[in-house]
Every structure is written in structure tokens, then in C-alpha cells.
Chain A
Amino acid sequence: MEDLVRLESIVKVYPPVVAVDDVSVSFRRGEIHAVVGENGAGKSTLMKVLYGLVPRDAGRIFLEGEPVNFRGPEEAIARGIGMVHQEILLVREYTVWQNVVLGREPMRALGRMDEAEARRLVGEKIREFQLNLDPDAVVGDISVAARQKVEILKLLYRNVSVLILDEPTAVLAPQEVPQLFAELARLRDNGRTVIFISHRLDEVLALSDRITVMRRGRKIDTVQAAATGKEELARMMVGREVVFSSRRTPRTPGVVVCEIDNLSVRGAGGRERLTGVTLRVRAGEIVGVAGVEGNGQLELVEAIIGLGKPESGSIRVQGRDLTDEPILERRRLISFVPQDRGRMGASLGASIVENAIMTHHRLDSRFTRLAGLLLDLPFARRFAQRVREEFSVSMSSERDPFRSLSGGNQQKVILGRELLLDCPFVLLDQPTRGLDVGSIEYVHQQVLGIRDENRAVLLVSADLEELFLIADRIVVMHRGELVADLPVEQATMEQVGSLMLEGRARAS
């Protein structure tokens, strides 16, 4: 097999971070090549350099032996290299074929689109690659997995020979993954090259021919998938051994701490987003909320913390009715780690201290002087240092801007701030999203730790593996309803997966 694309000594610096550090790698015609690494290892950046989305600071790129220099995605696509991003960018109101031809429509005279020809061309591509899509379906109505296929189809319609997919399985339910893989394998057999970015090792091993491992911007190695295993890959990714098994010790939960009764929430436009959710979380128990994203998890979290107003139902913590209380009153009882660090969990431009003392500054009088008028800055700084020590945050000075911390360290500060509030109920919304393996392990340890302190934990996660690793009970959300409530010992991933996809009705 020949090298189709060769990257040579690529360097990309985002001061002060060296995102890609002297990486050389080549991709062959007709192979599935996985690029794996922790978050922040430089996989996406390397691919964006190849795709012409970000300019490189050093290095060369060869396509079929000839040096190329794409100044933008258009040029890359014109030479047969296309990329599907993590966020799907389609016009929801348009049909599948309209989305696919958008920007490259077959034309008739006088600038009119030849709709019949466009439909025919798209239909042809769907048949050629057996994509199982209806060209006339409106994109807003089809599943996330199908939308992803539309993105791939868009590139095939433009005749690309190299497809780069950035974490394509992140938005899929476990059941949807095999079909995607079958389709990708078919692309390979048709002579296309598939470059597949991921950090899920099982998938990578199942799908790819060769695997390139990156760590901290450097390439560690490129190996044959057949000749390696999960443990070896993990060691290369992290630089040390990683534990994959649950460290959960069985525990009898205590009294009920959080009671949610019959909670319903209407979204914009009056659509019901949450329907009659009833849920109990006990002291010393981790309840995991599973579900495909967009099935009401966010609405549940917002209703609990007080961002949205529920239509009906009640929320009680330690017997206190919080349904109509302002956020500050809720925060006396609820520690909250949101899913979106930069938007909800922190102010990136403020200093680390200023981020660390949020909420404490209102609830704990030691943080202020003169009856709450002045902040006690020395106390605040000592508190930030305490967070640093107890949650092993690596930072140079607590007065540095929060954005100067790595993602893992940002999350540690947020986690530290929230856990030191000493609330009986802890609400965690995707607390490990976007973190590297080491930080994920750390967060899991902390969460198990607060369970052992007899606090009640509600953990919303899109990562089933995570739920099975640390939760005691798993509840499944589907279209705004809780469709199952299972002790983790009695649940299997396949069962939870099909509940996530199809709800109660067809699961059994």
C-alpha cells in the first residue's frame, strides 16, 4: 500500500501551548487509520492543520508525493480531503439532498438549480455506499446518527478520497456505532482513506487498520491494530498503567436526601421537555442519569439548580421544598458541577481566586468583612491555595487568569469549590466531559470519595462506561421521561443502551 498523505515535522503552537510538536505521520490509500490520544494531545489540531483549517507553524504536507499547502478547507476538499467535525453543521429545515448539494448545486440555465438532477446524484451516492438514508427526509426530523451520515455523504458527493472524522462516536448511542463502523469499512473497501479521531480504545481496536498514538502534542508511535491491545494503547496514551475496572465498594445507602416528584418542564414553544419525572437520591448513593443527549437531561439539571421554572412537580432536598426558591437558597444544599466549564462553571477571564470563591462568598461569612460589604482577599487567597492542595491543582499563582489552567485543572478547581461547600446533595452534569484519562480517573475518585462521606450524588453522563464504573443506580431518560431505574449490578450496557434509544416501549 502506498502513502497517500504524508505529514512531515508538523508544529503548531498556541502560545504558550505547543499543540502539535514535530509530528510526522503518513496515511495510506484504502486504510482506516485511527489517531488516538487524550484530550489536548493534539489529534484534532493535527487534523485541522492537514485540512487547512489552521495554519501550521512549521513542517510540510505531501499529497501523493507532491507538497501541498491548503489555505482553507475549500482547497483541501478540491484536492480530495474532507473532514467531519464533532458538531454537526446542517440546515435543519432542508432535506437531506438539499443539504448535501448545498454550495455545489447542479445548475440549469439562468441560475436555476436542477433539482431533479441533484436528487438523482444524491440518491446515487446513497446507493453506492449503502448509506440507508432517505434523500427527501428533513434533517431536523432525523436522528443524530443519520445527520452524521449526511455529513459524510456531503463529502462523498464532493468526491473526497480522504475522510477525516473527529470523534464520530461521541454523539452516538452504543447501538448506533456498529452501523457507522460498517459504513466506514465499506468506504475503505471502495478505496477511500478514513482517518478517525477517538479516545475510545475499544472502538479504535475494532475498526482501524493502523493506529497512531499521540500524547501532549507528540506522536508516540504508529502501530498495526492487529498487533496491539487496549492496555498497550492506554499505556502509550497516558504514559502509565490505567485502571479500567470499577473501584466501587458496595454500600448501603442512607436516608433519602433529594426527592424529585412528578417534575414537568416545558421548553420554548410550549413543547414538553420533561414529563412527570420522579426520582430519589439517598445519602451515600450515586445515581447515574443515562440517555442520548437532548432527552431532557439538561432540563432536569436546570430545574434542580433553578435556571428553569418547572411547569409542575416539586424538588426537595433534606425535606426542604426548593421548587420556588432562588438559586442562592438552593446552593446552600446543592453542590453543582455543570457540563460546560467556560459557560456555566467559571469565568475564564477572571483570576483563579475569583473563580474559587464563587458561592462561598455569599454563604460563608469568613469570606467577607464588615457584614458582607468587603471581600476578605487574604482569606480568599488562602482558600484558593487550600483548593490547590486538597485537589492537587497544578498552577503557578492563584492570581493567574482561570483560562491559563489546563482543562483538567480547571475542572479540579470547580470540583474543589463545589465539594468544599459541604452540601448534602451533589449534582454533577457530565463532570468528565472533555477531560483526559488521568483527570477523569481523578474526578471519579473524588466522586466516590464524597459518596463515602455519605453525601447524595446525582451524576448525569453521556458516557455509559463512566456510569457503570461509579454509579450505584442508573436511571434512563428518553424523550423527557424516566424510562428505567436499575441497580447497576442488575443492568447491562446493552440493556441501558436500548432503553436510551427506544425508551420503555420496545426495550423488553
Chain B
Amino acid sequence: MTRKILTGIAGILVALLIGALIMLAEGYRPLATYAALFQFSLFGLSPLATTLKNSVPLILTGLSASIAFASGPVNLGQPGQLAMGALAATLGGLFLHLPAGLEIPLLALLAMAGGALWSGLAALLRIAFAMSEFIVTLMLNMIADFFTAWIIAFPLLDPKAFSPMTRQIDRAGWLGEMGGFSGSVLFMAAAVAMSWFVFRRWRAGYEWRISGQNSLFARLGGCNIDRNFVSVMLFTGALAGLAGGLVVMGGPHRFLKGLGANYAWDGVMIAIVAGSGLIATLLYGLFFSAIQTGSLGMELITDVPSEIAQVLQAVLVLVIVAGREFVRTALDRAEARRQARERAA
């Protein structure tokens, strides 16, 4: 555990250092750039609130990928599940008119159902026809992408709009702000806590974890591998769907073109950096959000382009993933040499 935290921090520092070298080579001032980056993402209530709000889809899709990877299924359908979740929440918000206290939880549930429907389809194809969920979820991403694009361009197009988007959802479904912080953060926190509890404390979560590590052992132990596969797919699809719903409810309040952006792929990347750990996904999700959020503000007061955030992310991923293995072998090697010396003496 401590080793994980230390390699994480060391990885981040090394990545920032490499980023600084790149900036130097390009003729920018790294210290001022970093100061601006974090000034607009961490220091102060409003930057922090923005970072938290932006982290919601990253963390939820990251959590979806982490739980799937740690349990076995290669669910790479977070982009499609997010889109379907957003669509389900939008549909609910357009046609349901309930008091906010009912409307908001209902839309969140609809979003989860939309995501779960999409991942459930992949699970079904796996169980019925032994089709690899790896390829099916990827393909379903395309279908969801074009399907939602068609929905918002034709049947649900807002007549007053100049680009593909739906009308705004019922005001009762808008996630307001509480003390400057978006209500979607609350949902995200609840989802993270619930996921952790299911994954670490439920009997189902125990079986998921063991199956992810050694599925033959779990099977011989009496776990129902197929049923667990389906439940993991549904659970992780629901998480990605919730991400989509919260983006709609907390942001533009409608489904507009390019809504999902790169959230889901960034989420998958975060899961990989986090080594599929749940708490690590939360922390890296916050950090990546800070970089992305800060980069926009940084662009305003320095002449460094906001693309530097992408460079930083890429370096971070490489340094942390490669560094993890390197540190492990290096520590083992050092320990071996120490003991050998002791024995020789």
C-alpha cells in the first residue's frame, strides 16, 4: 500500500519534471505554467469545485473500467454506455415532469439502466454466442455513437437549434449547485462508496475479485462464472451510464453533439494507471481532472497552449505504468544484494 502511494507520487513528480523539460525546450517557463495550472484547478473554492465537477465522468467511467478489469470482463464499452446513459436520462427529462426530489433520482436510475442495457447486450452476446466482450463492447461504442447522433439530429432535434441537440430537460431534473459544488459530485461520491462496498464487502464482490484473479479456481470453488460475468457487465455498464446521466443533468441539461467528449477513454486510461484499484482510480481521476481543468485557465494567463495538459497526461501514464514494474524489480534486486552481502560478511 505505502509502496503504491510512493510510486504514484514519484511517478507524478517525474512526469511533471519531464513536462517541465518539454516546456523549457519549447521556450516556456515551467514554474509559472504549473503555478497557473494548479491555480485554476486546486487553489480556491471555485477552481476546486470545477475540478470536482469535471472529475465526475472521469472517475465514474474509470471505476467502471477498474471493476470490470479487476473482475475479468474486458469491458471497453464505457463510451457507448455513457452515451446510452445520457440518452436515457435525457429522454426521461424530456417526457417526465415530476417534483425535483423524485425527478433527479429517477433520471439517475434511468441513466444507469441505459448504460446497463448497453453492457448487458454485450454480456448476452457473450453468454449466448461466446462472442468476445472485448470486441463487442468496442463495436457497440460505434453503434451508440451514431445512434445517439441520429436521435438528436432527427426525432429529438430542438427546432430552435442550429446544431444537433435536444431540447432542455425538465427543470426539475437539473442538478443544482450546493455551496458552489455541483450536485453531481454527491452522486459520484455515493457511487464510489457503494462500488467499494459491493466490491470489497459483498459476497458477489468477493467472487468477482477472485474470478478476476483466477477464474478457474473460482469456478472449481463453486462460483457461477457466467452469472458473475453478467452481473459485472451490468454493474460497470450502470456506472458508465450514470456518468452520462450526470453530465446531462449537471451541465448543458440536454444531449448535444459531442457530449461524452473523451471522458470514457480517459476513464479507461485512469483505470489502467490505477492498476484497477478503486481508491487509486478515485485519486488519479481527481488528479487528471485537475490537470485538464487547470489547463484551460492556464491558457488564459500564459501563452502555453492547453494541449500541454494532454502531453502531461501521456507522460504521466507512461511514467506510472512503466515505473510501477521498474520500481518493483529494482527494490527486489536491491534487497537481494543486501541479503547477499550480509551473508558474505
Contacts and interface: CB of A to CB of B under 8 A. Distances in A.
A343 B217 contact: yes
B217 A358 contact: yes
15 contacts: A11-B344, A13-B337, A13-B339, A14-B332, A22-B343, A307-B219, A327-B219, A328-B223, A343-B217, A347-B210, A348-B213, A354-B209, A354-B210, A373-B202, A374-B203
Interface in B299-345: 331-332, 335-337, 339-341, 343-344
A343 B222 CA distance: 15
Contact of A361 (B201, B206, B213): B206
Interface in B181-226: 201-204, 206-207, 209-210, 213-214, 216-224
B4 to A, nearest CB: 14
Contact of B336 (A15, A21, A348): A15
Interface centre among B210, B217, B223 (most CB of A within 10 A): B217
Q: Is the interface of A mostly helix, strand, loop or mixed?
A: mixed
Contact of A373 (B203, B213, B217, B339): B203
Interface size class of B (residues with CB under 8 A): 20 to 34
Contacts of B207: 361
Interface in B11-53: none
B343 A359 contact: no
A77 to B, nearest CB: 26
Interface residues of A, number: 40
B217 A58 contact: no
A327 B203 contact: no
Given A347-B210, A354-B206, A9 B222 contact: no
Contacts of B337: 13, 57
Contact of B220 (A18, A305, A361): A305
A344 B222 contact: no
Interface string B253-275: 00000000000000000000000
Q: Is the interface of B mostly helix, strand, loop or mixed?
A: helix
A159 interface: no
Given A15-B336, A307-B219, A343-B217, 10 more contacts: A16-B335, A22-B344, A58-B343, A305-B220, A331-B221, A331-B222, A344-B220, A350-B210, A354-B209, A361-B203
Contacts of B224: 326, 328
A504 B206 CA distance: 48
A11 B337 CA distance: 9
B335 A13 contact: yes
A375 B201 contact: yes
B214 A343 contact: yes
Contacts of A13: 335-337, 339-340
B221 A358 contact: yes
A338 B340 CA distance: 36
Given A15-B332, A57-B340, A331-B222, A347 B203 contact: no
A348 to B, nearest CB: 8
A363 B210 contact: no
Contact of B203 (A16, A58, A375): A375
Nearest to A362: B222
Given A16-B335, A347-B210, A58 B340 contact: yes
Nearest to A329: B222
Interface in A55-92: 57-58
A429 to B, nearest CB: 11
Contacts of B216: 343-344
A372 B203 contact: yes
A375 B206 contact: yes
Contacts of B220: 305, 307, 327, 336, 338, 344-345
Interface in A1-23: 9, 11-16, 18, 21-22
A214 to B, nearest CB: 15
B213 A349 contact: yes
Given A327-B219, A347-B213, A11 B343 contact: yes
Given A15-B335, A345-B217, A58 B344 contact: yes
A170 interface: no
A368 interface: yes
A242 interface: no
Nearest to A305: B220
A377 interface: yes
Nearest to A14: B336
Interface string B283-299: 00000000000000000
A11 B338 CA distance: 11
A126 interface: no
A354 B209 CA distance: 10
B344 A363 contact: no
A413 interface: no
B260 to A, nearest CB: 33
A374 B335 contact: no
A346 interface: yes
Nearest to A57: B340
B267 to A, nearest CB: 24
B286 to A, nearest CB: 27
B209 A350 contact: yes
Contacts of A354: 206, 209-210
Contacts of A363: 222
A362 B204 CA distance: 10
B209 A11 contact: no
A229 to B, nearest CB: 32
Interface string A310-328: 0000000000000000111
Given A328-B222, A343-B214, A374 B336 contact: no
Contacts of A14: 332, 336
Contact of B339 (A57, A328, A358, A375): A57
Closest 6 CB pairs of A and B: A57-B340, A328-B222, A358-B221, A13-B336, A15-B335, A58-B340
Contacts of A328: 222-224
B336 A57 contact: yes
Contacts of A21: 343
A154 to B, nearest CB: 32
Contacts of B339: 11, 13, 15, 18, 57
Nearest to A346: B217
B197 to A, nearest CB: 9
B223 A362 contact: yes
Given A13-B335, A327-B220, A354-B210, A374 B202 contact: yes
B325 to A, nearest CB: 15
A123 B135 CA distance: 51
A305 B222 CA distance: 10
B327 to A, nearest CB: 14
A13 B340 CA distance: 7
Nearest to A11: B340
A320 to B, nearest CB: 16
B335 to A, nearest CB: 4
Contacts of A326: 224
A57 B333 CA distance: 9
A354 B211 CA distance: 12
Given A374-B201, A375-B206, A359 B340 contact: no
Nearest to A330: B222
Contacts of B204: 373
Contacts of A336: 220
Contacts of A368: 203
B110 to A, nearest CB: 25
Nearest to B207: A361
Contact of B210 (A22, A358, A372, A373): A358
Interface string A42-64: 00000000000000011000000
A18 B218 CA distance: 32
Contacts of A305: 220
A233 B340 CA distance: 28
Interface in B61-104: none
Contacts of A359: 221-222
